[in-house]
Structure 1
């Protein structure tokens, strides 16, 4: 193919917004019709923007388009180098390099040091999950623990002396990779996240443990869904295949297996909501709620947060993903954040509530809710693209008081670093 036939680089030349939009859309293999549906506009509107017949849309619409196209830097879409805001990839955490080194290291051969006992590794994992749920700076906490856990869990697998020991060690290793995915989400190293997800699935399958397999599938399905609309089918395949594997066991299953089944049911509904499939989304939410109601009242899954307490938060997410502002606010009013014991999960719920208020045209309430999210877990809001988008938009609000509050929050979460 000649150089003239190659697709132009959207930021190598001073292209206008519409041209950049068309190039980035086509690079993702997305039709105008699909893009239009995802931003609640018409295909003809997209065509007119791309052709320059309409002016560049406002910041709110630009941010919606950036979200749909998974544009990590607004400068790619706008051409304005003064807007290098990474929306969906947060700043690299100071502990990322150490975690990456532990993941990428590939020790082979015999090891002189004996592996920690499986009981010891599981106790460390339990402490790590507890710390993640209780610490406001949860990424810092688990980032400090992961390098040692990854190394020791790998060593435990290599030194296992029997098939039973090896399966147990693989289950622990898979869980360590699951914990790693929580740290790596929204970090500027997508390939590392996928490497960990794939290793977690392989270790889970080697463990032959239903709960471990369910957790690894839950995280892999999320990774697919968050990769964009063209990966929704892959997310469904992972989730539905795992549900077909788990559901025949439910009558005799332990609480953890039932909980991961409920969590997977919700994930199918979540993906359906992303597609705009209202009936399917709420049907799977109902199925998940039935499982949650059958669990003990105080049960709380240590990885997925699945529980009775989380179903209200899940309802807010479904309504928000369906772009229903009124329903989002209604669900947000019913869901009690204080009932969620995990600080990062409580902060995530506050962010979902803020999205609902923003959809409903209540930006002041949205900003106040994001402030509550920051109080619960600052690192959650710092790395969440939706929260960053709302705050960034409101820094240009016409109302001076709102603009000031948004700028103050933006400075706290690191959006306005100079």
Structure 2
């Protein structure tokens, strides 16, 4: 059936699950081979699902398909069978409306009140990043700070008295938008995420500050990559252009500029791993590792987490994205989570370790590692689709003890909420 020319409505009841999957896949510009790789299945399995020889799979596989195809409303994939898309895109945080209002509001008159100084904004930003790294409920903490930070940083730009002051204020505003993107990510408002990312990039460019430009590009590349395979080229373009801009500065770069270049280099490797390009992925990791070794041993970037300490975690991510089970576990065993000072980043690393164990068929180890992620930062695992997919799969395990352990974790994360 030629879905591209049929004008078929994916919500029409007569369309089979497999037909819906094929329609959504082709609209993404994704081949069967690519989808199969993302799912850990064979291309023939995808073909049999699409042509109706195999029926709609289990819930955990449906969620995996939806995540790979970036489906926001699961009824687009399942027809009239309603499922909670929040299982893999994350629920809306209670503080999201207030943050969205601050982002979307038309700024008022520039002189209705005195703007905070850039130094004051910088001090508040430093406190906000510190709170994000130390609080288990980091989204709640950051979400409470963002509305006033957004408004005050916007006002500082409008009230700047000189070109230099305006550039400094733009750099601070760009960082506020970066913090906002961390909060908005994996919540059900993709348009807000892109609005924040684009405004952050504009403010960074206006600031003419190399680090601000690099950080905004780093986040923009992640947004493109997480939008699916059809956006990998855009992610590569952003990282390539940003690194070309920073390259002339690296010989004598300060630590904060070197670290963002290192973070961007790893991002290029991350995207290559998503493509399945093993050699390119590890080459970028090697280059990023060399850059990390130029930084002081105690250095830890408050925004990107780039540092010597993070490279082990990055190696796990590359191996997992390449679906290399044995290598993933070897890297997971080498990467010590305790050296990562940030709670949410430590929890994220634990989730990547859990993915490695699951790839290697070690389900008990995967669940135990997810429990450690929950202890480090509950709000990280709550918004992570990979973690929730593992929990859902193990909640259907044949072994009663493992099934109960997964069910207990599902209740904590909120997957069993009414």
TM (norm. structure 2) is 0.96
Q: Which residue of 2 aligns with 1:125?
A: 125
Could you tell me how far 1:18 is from its partner in structure 2? 1.3
Q: Which residue of 2 aligns with 1:204?
A: 204
Q: Which residue of 1 aligns with 2:67?
A: 67
- Mapped to 1, the partners of 2:405 and 2:77 lie a distance apart of 27
Query: What secondary structure is seen at the aligned counterpart in 2 of 1:296?
Result: coil
- Mapped to 2, the partners of 1:110 and 1:86 lie a distance apart of 39
Q: Is the 8 A contact 2:115 2:152 kept in 1?
A: yes
Could you tell me how far 1:47 is from its partner in structure 2? 2.3
Q: Which residue of 2 aligns with 1:340?
A: 340
- Mapped to 2, the partners of 1:228 and 1:28 lie a distance apart of 8
- Mapped to 2, the partners of 1:40 and 1:134 lie a distance apart of 35
**Distance of aligned partners of 1:73 and 1:363 in 2 relative to their CA distance in 1, 3 Å threshold:** farther
- Mapped to 1, the partners of 2:106 and 2:73 lie a distance apart of 33
Could you tell me how far 1:107 is from its partner in structure 2? 1.4
Q: Is the 8 A contact 2:32 2:47 kept in 1?
A: yes
Could you tell me how far 1:89 is from its partner in structure 2? 1.7
Q: List structure 1 runs of 4+ shifted beyond 6 angstroms.
A: none
Unaligned runs of 5+ in 1: none
Q: Is the 8 A contact 2:12 2:79 kept in 1?
A: no
User: Mean Cα displacement is larger for which, 104-113 or 7-16?
Assistant: 7-16
Could you tell me how far 1:35 is from its partner in structure 2? 2.2
Q: Which residue of 2 aligns with 1:379?
A: 379
Count of residue pairs the alignment pairs up? 415
Q: Which residue of 1 aligns with 2:157?
A: 157
- Mapped to 2, the partners of 1:42 and 1:369 lie a distance apart of 28
- Mapped to 2, the partners of 1:313 and 1:200 lie a distance apart of 27
Q: Is the 8 A contact 1:74 1:86 kept in 2?
A: no
Q: Is the 8 A contact 2:63 2:88 kept in 1?
A: no
In the TM superposition, what whole-angstrom CA distance separates every residue of 1:308-351 from its partner, at most 9, and x where no partner exists?
A: 00000000000000001111110000000000000000000000
Q: Which residue of 1 aligns with 2:170?
A: 170
- Mapped to 2, the partners of 1:359 and 1:59 lie a distance apart of 19
Could you tell me how far 1:8 is from its partner in structure 2? 2.9
Could you tell me how far 1:70 is from its partner in structure 2? 1.4
Could you tell me how far 1:394 is from its partner in structure 2? 1.2
- Mapped to 2, the partners of 1:354 and 1:79 lie a distance apart of 32
Query: What secondary structure is seen at the aligned counterpart in 2 of 1:88?
Result: helix
- Mapped to 2, the partners of 1:50 and 1:193 lie a distance apart of 32
Query: What secondary structure is seen at the aligned counterpart in 1 of 2:88?
Result: coil
- Mapped to 2, the partners of 1:116 and 1:160 lie a distance apart of 10
Query: What secondary structure is seen at the aligned counterpart in 1 of 2:84?
Result: coil
- Mapped to 2, the partners of 1:410 and 1:83 lie a distance apart of 16
CA RMSD in angstroms, aligned pairs only: 1.7
Map 1:286-297 → 2, pairs under 5 A: 286-297=286-297
Unaligned runs of 5+ in 2: none
Q: Which residue of 1 aligns with 2:309?
A: 309
- Mapped to 2, the partners of 1:15 and 1:363 lie a distance apart of 35
Q: Which residue of 2 aligns with 1:369?
A: 369
In the TM superposition, what whole-angstrom CA distance separates every residue of 1:32-62 from its partner, at most 9, and x where no partner exists?
A: 3432343344444322221112343444543
Query: What secondary structure is seen at the aligned counterpart in 1 of 2:86?
Result: coil
Could you tell me how far 1:112 is from its partner in structure 2? 1.9
